[in-house]
Amino acid sequence: MPPQHILLLALFLYLSFSFAKPLEQPFPVTRPEDVYGPPPPPSLWPVRSNKSCTAYSKSQPNPLAKQYFDRRITGTINGTLAVLPIPLSLARSIIPSKYTILTSAIQAELPDFPLDKYPCLFQASYYHDISSVLNPGSVPQTAVPDFSSASIEFPFVDLLGDNSTSFRWVPEILKTITASKIPAITEAREFGTDIHDAVFEPNCEAYHREPDSDYTTTFGRSVDLRVVGHMSADVYSRFKPLGSGPYHMRFWKNVTNQPSSANGRRCDEMVRLFNTSVSTGHYQPVEVNGQVNARLKTFKGEKVWEDVWGIRTDPSFVGNNPLDCESLRGYGART
Ligand SMILES: *[C@@H]1O[C@H](CO)[C@@H](O)[C@H](O)[C@H]1NC(C)=O
Ligand SMILES: *[C@@H]1O[C@H](CO)[C@@H](O)[C@H](O)[C@H]1NC(C)=O
Ligand SMILES: *[C@@H]1O[C@H](CO)[C@@H](O)[C@H](O)[C@H]1NC(C)=O
Ligand SMILES: *[C@@H]1O[C@H](CO)[C@@H](O)[C@H](O)[C@H]1NC(C)=O
Ligand SMILES: *[C@@H]1O[C@H](CO)[C@@H](O)[C@H](O)[C@H]1NC(C)=O
C-alpha cells in the first residue's frame, strides 16, 4: 500500500473509534444541578459555608464531652454511610499497586458480597460538638467548630504489607471551606489525603429532608479557586429508609474503625463508638437505600451509583490522631 493510503486508513480508523462514544447511563438519575442549580461564584463560597453552624445544628450534643480528661478530642459524626460496589479490577487499578487488597477480610466481613466486586465506603458526615477537656473537672472546650465532609474511601487495604491489618485508603475528601483553615484539619494533609475546600447543602446539618418525601439529601461541592468558576469535585447523595439492607452493624463498625491514610506513613485514628446516647434508642441507626453521584479525581470524572444500601447514624468518636501507621499494626495502639 502506498504511504498516503496507509495514512488515510489510519485517519479513517481514528475517526471511526473517536466517534464510538461509550453509552450514557441507562437509568434516570437526579443530577445535583437539577436540584441546586449552577454553582455560585467562588467569591460567595466562604459566606455560604457558615462558621457558626454549632448554633444552628439540630445534632445532639456530644455525650463524651465530659468523659475524656486527657485532652483527647471527642465529638459526634452524624451522617450517611453507604457501600458503593465497584469491580474489584477497578479498585485494583485505583489503589496504588504497592498496597494489597485484603480480600479475605472483605469475605470475613461480607460473606455474601460478590467476589469480583469491591465495597467502596461512602461517607457524608457532619462533625458536631468537637471538644476536649483540658484539665480534669474543667468545662469541655470547643476544639474545632462544626464542619461537613464527604468522601469515597477504600477499606480493607494493607498499608503495612503485613497481609493482615485493614486500613482505609482515603485519597481525597471534601471538607467545609472554613474548616480547612483550622490546624486540627490541616493536620489531615499529613495523611497524604487531597482535601478539597467545599461548601455543603445543607450547610449546618448532616442531611436534609426533601419536601413531601422520605428522601434526605446532602451535597458538597468544591471549586478550584485557582481556576475561577471551575468545579474541582462534587459529591451528591439522596437516600431514604427502605426496609433492611444487606449489611450488618458489625460491618459498619468495622469499616469506620479502620484507621485511614493516603500515604501509609501517617494515619488518622478516630475510634467510633456506636453505643452512646446519640446512636442508640431513639437515635439508633436507620437503614437507607439511594443514590450517590460523584465527580472526583479518584474516578477520573463523574460516577453514579443507584440502588445502593447504607445507614444514617450518629456515632461518637474519640480521636487519637495523627499517628504513625506502623504503630497501628494489628491495631496495637487502640483506645
Ligand atoms: C448559617 O446557617 C444557618 C442554617 O443553615 C442559616 O439559617 C443562617 O442564615 C446562615 N448564616 C449565614 C450568615 O449564612
Ligand atoms: C442527625 O442529623 C439529623 C439532620 O440534621 C437530625 O435530624 C438528627 O436528629 C441528628 N441525629 C442526632 C443523634 O443528633
Ligand atoms: C494472606 O492472608 C490470607 C488469609 O489469611 C492467606 O490466604 C494468604 O495466603 C496470605 N498471603 C500471603 C502472601 O501470605
Ligand atoms: C475488620 O475486619 C477484619 C476482618 O475480619 C479484621 O481483621 C479487622 O481487625 C477488623 N477491623 C476493625 C477495626 O474492626
Ligand atoms: C461502648 O463500646 C466500646 C467499644 O466498642 C466499649 O469499649 C465500651 O465499653 C462500650 N460502652 C458501653 C457503655 O457499653
Nearest to 104 by CA among 95, 113, 96: 113
What are the tens digits of pLDDT across the range 59-99? Answer: 999 999 988 878 788 999 999 999 999 999 999 999 999 99
Give φ, ψ of 167 to 5 degrees: -120, 160
User: Which residues are registered as beta bridge partners of 96?
Assistant: none
Q: Which of 49, 53, 56, 176 to mutate to test the pocket of ligand 1 (most atoms within 8 A of CB)?
A: 56
Distance, CA of 129 to CA of 149 (rounded, Å): 15
Count the helices and strands in the chain (H runs, E runs).
Answer: 8, 18
Assign 35 a pLDDT band (cuts: 50, 70, 90): low
Lowest mean pLDDT across 41-50, 243-252, 279-288: 41-50
The pLDDT assigned to 43 comes to 61
Provide the grid cell at 178.
472554613
Distance, CA of 125 to CA of 53 (rounded, Å): 14
| In this structure, CATH architecture of domain 60-328 | Beta Barrel (2.40)
Q: How far is residue 74 CA from its own chain's centroid?
A: 19
User: What is the atom index within ligand 1 of the atom nearest the CA of 48?
Assistant: 14
Contact by Cβ (8 Å): 292, 309? no
Q: Is 38's pLDDT higher than 80?
A: no
Give the three-class secondary structure for 197: strand
| Residue 129, phi-psi category: left (phi > 0), alpha (psi -120 to 50), beta (remainder) | left
Nearest residue (CA) to ligand 1, atom 11: 50
User: What is the atom index within ligand 2 of the atom nearest the CA of 278?
Assistant: 13
Q: What is the pTM of this model?
A: 0.88
Distance, CA of 28 to CA of 307 (rounded, Å): 12
The pLDDT assigned to 186 comes to 62
Domain-by-domain residue ranges, the chain? Answer: 60-328
Lowest mean pLDDT across 26-30, 51-55, 115-119: 26-30
Give the pocket of ligand 2 (CB within 6 Å).
Answer: 58-60, 78, 205-207, 278, 283, 314
Nearest to 54 by CA among 125, 126, 124, 128: 128
The pLDDT assigned to 15 comes to 43
The pLDDT assigned to 114 comes to 98
User: What is the atom index within ligand 4 of the atom nearest the CA of 108?
Assistant: 5
